[in-house]
Amino acid sequence: MMDKDIERRFVFAADLAREAGRCASRYFRDRSLAVTMKGQNDPVTTADLEADQLIAKRIAEQFPEDRILSEESGGDPANRLWIVDPIDGTQNFARGIARYAVSIAFYWNGTVMLGAIYDPMADELFTARRGGGAFLNGSPIRASEISEPKSALVEAGYSLKRPLADYHALVGRLLEAGYNVRQVGSAALGLAEVACGRIDGYCELHLASWDVAAGLVLVEEAGGRTSDFFTGNGLTDGNFLIAAAPALQMHLHEVAERERYPAELPCPIRS
């Protein structure tokens, strides 16, 4: 794939994230919003489904040879793959909490090449292209320079896919190490905030690729570090994740890694 092909997709992804965000937002705090549960604490709304259909339609129009892996409509691994979460933070959205985002990434030959995360409530568009930097509304962003856990704010996302005791232990160790810890319901926005230095790290015992693909390239292009999410079957089955400001990466890794599951998987830090 040529540079111009990636560039075309980069521009397209940014526009599409905005368009899908506006589509979803029409339903925000709509009392007649239809919410169904896919599982425990795992809602899906009319807004997720409409935004998902819009994204699929636009990709099919512009790049008919590409494939899609989406939280709402599924998909299979492919060489040219769009990884899509039409609304990350659906639980917030469904409860009228203004913290959710559209996340769109393009994955080629085993690498996330670009990502776009749009927060419609703040009108913030985070974009990154591999080797081309990370941006917020077009201005360059960098991960924070914080190196002391006692000055750091990190998010520890909660996944129902891992035992509650492991999450308790993880949060306990982070607090004991001095980190300020929060959990606010959108991994995509958490990673975007690591990329622009608003928070210093994000970890979660299990996430799906659509939650994190765009955020990973954002953090890496902003000078942050991430664990090797796509190792093993990360693309299809999800994985453990740590993303951090560069000077915190080793410490956060040491503290969080003890909760990794399954323990035998390697979790190298990418630079």
- Chain positions contacting ligand IPD, by CB under 6 A: 71, 85, 88-91, 157-159, 185-187, 204, 207, 211
CA angle (218 as vertex; 203, 259 as ends), nearest 5: 15
Instruction: Tell me: is residue 269 an annotated ligand-binding position.
Output: no
**Closer CB to ligand IPD, residue 140 or residue 172?**
172
**Closer CB to ligand IPD, residue 143 or residue 205?**
205
In the complex, the smallest distance separating the C-beta of residue 47 from ligand IPD, rounded to whole angstroms, is 12
**Closer CB to ligand IPD, residue 24 or residue 222?**
24
In the complex, the smallest distance separating the C-beta of residue 90 from ligand IPD, rounded to whole angstroms, is 4
CB-based contact 211:161 (threshold 8 Å): no
DSSP secondary structure letters along 157-194: E--TTS-HHHHHHHHHHHHHTT-EEE--S-HHHHHHHH
In the complex, the smallest distance separating the C-beta of residue 139 from ligand IPD, rounded to whole angstroms, is 25
**Closer CB to ligand IPD, residue 26 or residue 182?**
182
Instruction: Tell me: is residue 85 an annotated ligand-binding position.
Output: yes
Instruction: Tell me: is residue 117 an annotated ligand-binding position.
Output: no
Instruction: Tell me: is residue 30 an annotated ligand-binding position.
Output: no
Pairing of strands 239-244, 42-45: unpaired
In the complex, the smallest distance separating the C-beta of residue 5 from ligand IPD, rounded to whole angstroms, is 28
Cα torsion through 118, 185, 202, 131, rounded to 10: -20
**What b/e string do you get for 76-100 counting C-beta neighbours within 10 Å, with b at 16 or more?**
eeeebbbbbbbbbbbbbbbeebebb
Instruction: Tell me: is residue 264 an annotated ligand-binding position.
Output: no
**Can you say which residues are annotated as belonging to the binding site?**
71, 85, 87-88, 211
